[in-house]
Amino acid sequence: MYTELSLFIDGKWLNGAGRKGEDVINPATGKALGALPHASKADLDAALEAAQKGFLVWKAMSAYDRSKILRKAADLLRERAERVATVQTLEQGKAFGESRIEVLTSADIIDWYAEEGRRAYGRIVPGRQKGVRQIVLQEPVGVVAAFTPWNFPTLTPVRKIAGALAAGCSIIIKASEETPGGCFELVKCFADAGVPAGVLNLVFGVPAEVSEHLIPSPLVKKISFTGSIPVGKHLAGLAAKGMKKATMELGGHSPVVVFADADPEKAADTIAAFKYRNAGQVCISPTRFYVQEASYSKFVARFTEYAKNIKLGDGLEKGTTMGPLANPRRLDAMESFVNDAKDRGGKIAAGGSRHGNQGFFFQPTVITDVPDDAKVMTEEPFGPLAPIVPFKTFDEVVERANALPFGLAAYAFTSSGATATAIGDAIQSGMVGVNSVAISTPETPFGGIKESGYGSEGGIEGLTAYMNTKFISQG
Ligand code: NAD
C-alpha cells in the first residue's frame, strides 16, 4: 500500500543502491513502512548542476507551454488522489478524509499557479523625456532550494514547487524524511506531466547537512522553508550570508477571541473541528482560546463535548476522525505541556493523556483555568491541546492576544460588524479569520509576521516570491 521511495535528480529516479538511508515509520503502529534513500554529497552536487541546466531550459519555454505542463500535473494528481492520500495517511497519520482533501487542494494549487504564471505582468512607466520607454519586467530568480516539514506531506511542497515552476524557476526540494511519500508521489505527477529533466529535483538526507550544502551554493538564488522558528532563523542566516531571497513560513500560537455577542455553541463547533484537524499539528491551528465571560461556560461545555466525541484511531480505519501524532517527539511534548498546565492550576476538562498501547496517539484535550504564563499559552503546542480562558474587555483581550512574539494566524467570532472590523485591525497577525476559518486557499496569500516569518505563499504574492523585478530604461 505504501510506495517505493527514491530520489529524483536530473530526470532520473535514484534508489537506495550504495546510499545511506532511514526507515519511514507508520505513526499508527510504530512499524516501518519502507526505506528512504539519502542523497550523498555527490547527489546534491548533481542536483545543483541539473537545476541550473533545467532553469535555462524552463526559462526559455513560454509561460503558455509551462502552464500546459503544470495543468497536466494537476490532472494526474487528481486521478491519483486516492492512492496519494493513502500513502500520506500511512506515513503521517491524519484521517484519510483529511488526506484526500489535502491532495485535491494541492491539485487546485497547481492549477492556480498554472494560470497565474501566464499573468506575470510587468508595466510601462511614462518617461520624463520624449521617446524614453521605461519598462518594468518580472524575471524568474533562478534555482530555488526548498525545505518542507512532516505535517502536510503534499500541500506544503506543492506551494513551493508550483510557485517556483510557474515563475519559470527550477527547484531542488528536500521534503520531510519522516513523511517523504506524499512529496514523492507529487513529484512523480510533475515528471509524468512532462517537466523537463533538471527542472524539479527531489532529495532527502540529514536535514542540516542538506541545507548547509545547498543554501551556500552560488547556483541557488532563493530559499523557501516551512518549519520551526529556530530552524527558520538558522536557514535565514545562511541565506543572508549569500544575500539570497528567502521565504520563511514558521510556527505561531494562534489566538481565538470569542466575543459575548457571538453564538458560543456555533463558534465552539466551528473552531473545535478546526482545532483537532491533523491532531492539531498545523501551523495555523487555533491554540489559545479567549472567551468573553458571559459566554465562557457555554463555550467550554460545547467545545469539551466535541472533543470527547472525536473518534481516535488509525487514519485508514472507517469512522476515524483524528489520527495519531506524527512522531514520538510530539507525544513527549504533549505530556510536558499538560504536566506544566496542571502544576500551574490548570484543570483537564477532556483528554490529557496518551491513548492505546501502540502508535503515537494522544487524546483530544481541553484545559481550563490555566494562567497566561503557562507553557501551553506561550509555546506553540503543535498537538491536540486546547487551553480555554475567560476575558472581560476588548482592549484586554487584544493585549493578551498580541503579547507573544508570533503572528501567523488569529481567529475571532462576533455578531457585530464594528467589532469584526476592530478586531481584524487590532490583531498582529499575517492572517485573521473573523467568523471564518478559511484562511488558507490557493488564491490568497498565506504567511506570517513577527517571529512567524516573512513572505507569502499563495495568491499573486506566491508567484512574485520567485521573481526579480528588472527595470529597463530604453531611449
Ligand atoms: P525541528 O525543529 O527539528 O524540525 C522542523 C522541520 O525542519 C522538520 O521538517 C525538519 O526536518 C526540518 N529541519 C530541521 N533542521 C533543519 C535544517 N538544519 N535544515 C533544513 N531543515 C531542517 O522540529 P520537529 O520536532 O520536527 O517539529 C517541532 C516543531 O516544529 C513544532 O512544534 C512546530 O512548532 C514546528 N513545525 C512547524 C511546522 C509549520 O508548518 N510551520 C511544521 C512542522 C513543525
Q: Can you spell out the DSSP letters for 406-452?
A: EESEEEEE-S-HHHHHHHHHHS-SSEEEES------TTS-B--EETT
Atom 40 of ligand 1, nearest CA residue = 283
Distances (CA, A) of 164 to 139, 169, 217, 378, 472: 12, 5, 18, 34, 24
Q: Count CA atoms closer than 13 A to 14's CA, side-chain side.
A: 24
Q: What is the CA radius of gyration of the chain?
A: 23
CB atoms within 10 A of CB 316: 18
265-280: per-residue pLDDT in tens? 999 999 999 999 999 9
Q: CA 295 to CA 302: how far, in whole Å?
A: 11
Order of all β-strands in the sheet with 123-126: 123-126, 133-140, 467-474
Active site amino acids: 249, 283
Which of 25, 178, 231, when mutated, tests ligand 1's pocket best, judged by the most ligand atoms within 8 Å of its CB?
231
Q: β-pairing, 431-434 with 409-413?
A: parallel
Task: Give the cell for residue 426.
Answer: 487590532
Query: Assign residue 351 a region: left if phi > 0, alpha if psi is -120 to 50, beta otherwise?
Result: left
Claim: this prediction has a pTM higher than 0.95? yes
Q: How far does Cα 277 stand from its chain's mean position?
A: 13
446 — pLDDT class (breaks 50, 70, 90): very high
Atom 10 of ligand 1, nearest CA residue = 149
- Residue 74 CA to ligand 1 centre (angstroms): 27
Residue 437 has pLDDT above 90, yes or no: yes
Select from 400, 340, 411, 398 the least CA-distant residue to 370.
340
- Residue 61 CA to ligand 1 centre (angstroms): 35
Residue 312 has pLDDT above 90, yes or no: yes
- Residue 182 CA to ligand 1 centre (angstroms): 17
Q: CA 32 to CA 400: how far, in whole Å?
A: 44
Q: Which ligand 1 atom sits closest to the C-alpha of 282?
A: 40
Atom 8 of ligand 1, nearest CA residue = 149
Chain mean pLDDT for the chain: 98
3-state SS of 279-325 is: HHCCCCCEEEEEEEHHHHHHHHHHHHHHHHCCCECCCCCCCCCECCC
Atom 38 of ligand 1, nearest CA residue = 227
94 — pLDDT class (breaks 50, 70, 90): very high
314-373: per-residue pLDDT in tens? 999 999 999 999 999 999 999 999 999 999 999 999 999 999 989 999 999 999 999 999
408 — pLDDT class (breaks 50, 70, 90): very high
- Mean of pLDDT values over 120-146: 96
Atom 17 of ligand 1, nearest CA residue = 208
- Residue 185 CA to ligand 1 centre (angstroms): 21
Phi, then psi, of 393 in degrees rounded to 5 = -120, 165
144-198: per-residue pLDDT in tens? 999 999 999 999 999 999 999 999 999 999 999 999 999 999 999 999 999 999 9
Q: Which ligand 1 atom sits closest to the C-alpha of 327?
A: 25
Which residue matches cell numbers 535565514? Answer: 236
Distances (CA, A) of 106 to 110, 148, 272: 6, 14, 24
CB 229 within 8 A of CB 251: yes
Secondary structure E strands in 78-229: 123-126, 133-140, 143-147, 170-174, 200-203, 220-226
Domains of the chain: 7-250+452-474 (3.40.605.10), 254-442 (3.40.309.10)
**What per-residue confidence (pLDDT) applies to 16?**
86
Task: Please list every protein residue whose CB sits less than 6 Å from any atom of ligand 1.
Answer: 147, 149-151, 176, 207-208, 211, 226-228, 231, 234-235, 249-251, 283, 329, 380, 382
H/E stretch holding 409: strand 409-413
Atom 18 of ligand 1, nearest CA residue = 208
CB 32 within 8 A of CB 25: yes
- Mean of pLDDT values over 414-440: 98
- Residue 36 CA to ligand 1 centre (angstroms): 19
CB 159 within 8 A of CB 186: no
Q: Which ligand 1 atom sits closest to the C-alpha of 383?
A: 32
Atom 33 of ligand 1, nearest CA residue = 228
Q: CA 271 to CA 266: how far, in whole Å?
A: 9
Q: CA 132 to CA 13: how far, in whole Å?
A: 51
- Residue 174 CA to ligand 1 centre (angstroms): 12
Atom 27 of ligand 1, nearest CA residue = 228
CB atoms within 10 A of CB 32: 12
pLDDT > 70: what percent of the chain?
A: 100
- Residue 342 CA to ligand 1 centre (angstroms): 27
54-71: per-residue pLDDT in tens? 999 999 999 999 999 999
- Residue 151 CA to ligand 1 centre (angstroms): 9
Which of 228, 404, 446, when mutated, tests ligand 1's pocket best, judged by the most ligand atoms within 8 Å of its CB?
228
Task: Give the cell for residue 147.
Answer: 525545505
Atom 25 of ligand 1, nearest CA residue = 329
CB atoms within 10 A of CB 253: 26
243 class by beta-carbon count within 10 Å (0-12 exposed, 13-18 middle, 19+ buried): exposed
Between these two residues, 1 and 39, which has the higher pLDDT value?
39
H/E stretch holding 452: none
**What per-residue confidence (pLDDT) applies to 303?**
98
CB atoms within 10 A of CB 218: 10
Residue 19 has pLDDT above 90, yes or no: yes
Residue 17 has pLDDT above 90, yes or no: no
- Residue 210 CA to ligand 1 centre (angstroms): 14
